Amino acid sequence: MAYSEKVIDHYQNPKNVGTLDKSSKNVGTGLVGAPECGDVMRLQIEVDDATGMITDAKFKTFGCGSAIASSSLATEWLKGKSIDEALTVDNMDFVEELNLPPVKIHCSVLAEDAIKAAINDYRVKNGMDSIKFEESVVH
């Protein structure tokens, strides 16, 4: 199966690989997927308390090229967005941007879930309720 050029580019030059201090109050961490399924994504966001803006985002991903590309792209999209804007990112946005084939849709779902999980982690840490999301339907 041939990968799209954008997937290859993210795979070869991933953006924002790394780790933020997960104990920091300003950092939200989302860890989604499972080793058994062949992909695990960890997405972290750093949020400015005063403005509610995402000032930094990092990822580490165990998975195929599409999973790596989706998480790399997620960090790029998140930086500079407000939490509310970040919540509007949809898995189909990844599918379109990266030209993911149907068999790789789960990678995009995982990326969306990782964003939501990171936001919820940040909210809970800062005394807010976690948002209940509808279950992913793809898996």
Partner 1 sequence: MLKLPIYLDNNATTPMDPRVLEAMTPYFLEHFGNAASRNHPFGWEAEEAVDYAREQVAKLIGADPKEIIFTSGATEGDNLAIKGIFEMYASKGNHIITATTEHKAVLDTCKHIEKAGGEVTYLKVKPDGLIDLNELEAAIRPTTILIAIMYANNEIGTVQPISAISAIAKKHGVLLFTDAVQAVGKIPVDVNKDGIDLMAFTAHKMYGPKGVGALYVRRKNPRVKVTAQMDGGGHERGMRSGTLNVPGIVGFGKACEICMQDMEADTKRISKLRDKLETELMKLEEAYINGSTEHRLPHVTNISFKHVEGEGLLMGFNKNIALSSGSACTSASLEPSYVLKALGLGDDLAHSSLRFGLGRFTNEEQIDYTIKAISETVLKLRDMSPLWEMYKEGIDLSKIEWAAH
> From CA 128, how far away is CA 122, in angstroms rounded?
9
Catalytic residue, chosen from 107, 110, 115, 117, is 107
Q: Is 64 a catalytic residue?
A: no
Q: Is 37 a catalytic residue?
A: yes
Residue closer to partner 1, measured from CB, 98 or 117: 117
CB of 86 to partner 1, least distance (A): 19
Tell which residue, 120, 100, 116, 117, has the closest CA to residue 108.
Answer: 100
Q: What residues form DSSP beta bridges with 17?
A: 59
**Which letter does DSSP use for residue 29 in this model?**
E
Residue closer to partner 1, measured from CB, 102 or 127: 102
> From CA 59, how far away is CA 82, in angstroms rounded?
18
Residue closer to partner 1, measured from CB, 8 or 52: 8
Q: Apex CA 137: angle with CA 5 and CA 104, to 5°? A: 20
Catalytic residue, chosen from 8, 37, 92, 124, is 37
Catalog residues that contact partner 1 under the rule CB under 8 A: 1, 3, 8, 11, 14, 17, 19, 31-42, 60-65, 67-68, 103, 106, 110, 113, 117, 136, 139
Catalytic residues: 37, 107
